[in-house]
Amino acid sequence: MTAGSFEQLQALSALQAEALTALTALSAAGDRPPNDAYERFLAPARKLLKGAAAYVAVVPGGLDLAGLARPVAQQLGMYADHRQADGDRAGADALRQEADTITACYLDEASAAEVQRDRAMLAATEGRFNEALSGLESARSVFAANGKCSSRSRPSSRSPTSMNGSATTNARSMSSRQRMPLSRRSWSRDRRANRP
């Protein structure tokens, strides 16, 4: 590590501490933080992200850019929603565009889908259901493609026999606990608990 890269890391560390302090204050401000609380977080966070990207260009893999970018993209999206609610549509659009740029530049597909899911959930709480459903479906598709959905949360496109040719092969791969009906499972658990 050169002296210049060490100094660069020290500067990034100071920006990270400033951004973390501002983010903590932002989250403590309640459901509708004042706009200046967002600005106090975003100012050092933007500098941190830009500096970290410059550092990684010189020292590849030296920092987790996605880990630094995700909270910035999330807070930009929330701040945009608040600005829109305040009647500042142009400011909200600019913030959303910045969030989209950060997401595209620094986040992998799964992390971008998590940001999209968070935005969709916020849209749902604000009554923008079409936007919410569209965002949740897009995020679900990415999660399913990356194997991050549980079998309960995603509909199965295959029949029990399509993969292995027989339903018994699939049943054998399940544990007896999974196959046992809930009422019998509860009964067995209660019976074991009452043994002498």
pLDDT in tens, 80-137: 989 999 999 999 999 999 998 999 899 888 878 887 888 788 788 878 889 889 889 9
**Stretch 63-91: mean pLDDT:** 92
Tokens 């100071």 belong to: 14
Instruction: State the average pLDDT for the chain.
Output: 77
The highest-confidence range among 142-146, 149-153, 186-190, by mean pLDDT, is: 142-146
> What pLDDT sits at residue 58?
87
Instruction: Give the helix ranges, DSSP H, for 107-194.
Output: 109-125, 129-145, 167-173, 176-179, 182-193
Spatial separation of the C-alpha atoms in residues 62 and 52, rounded to whole Å: 9
Supply 16's token pair: 């990270």
Say yes or no to pLDDT of 31 above 50: yes
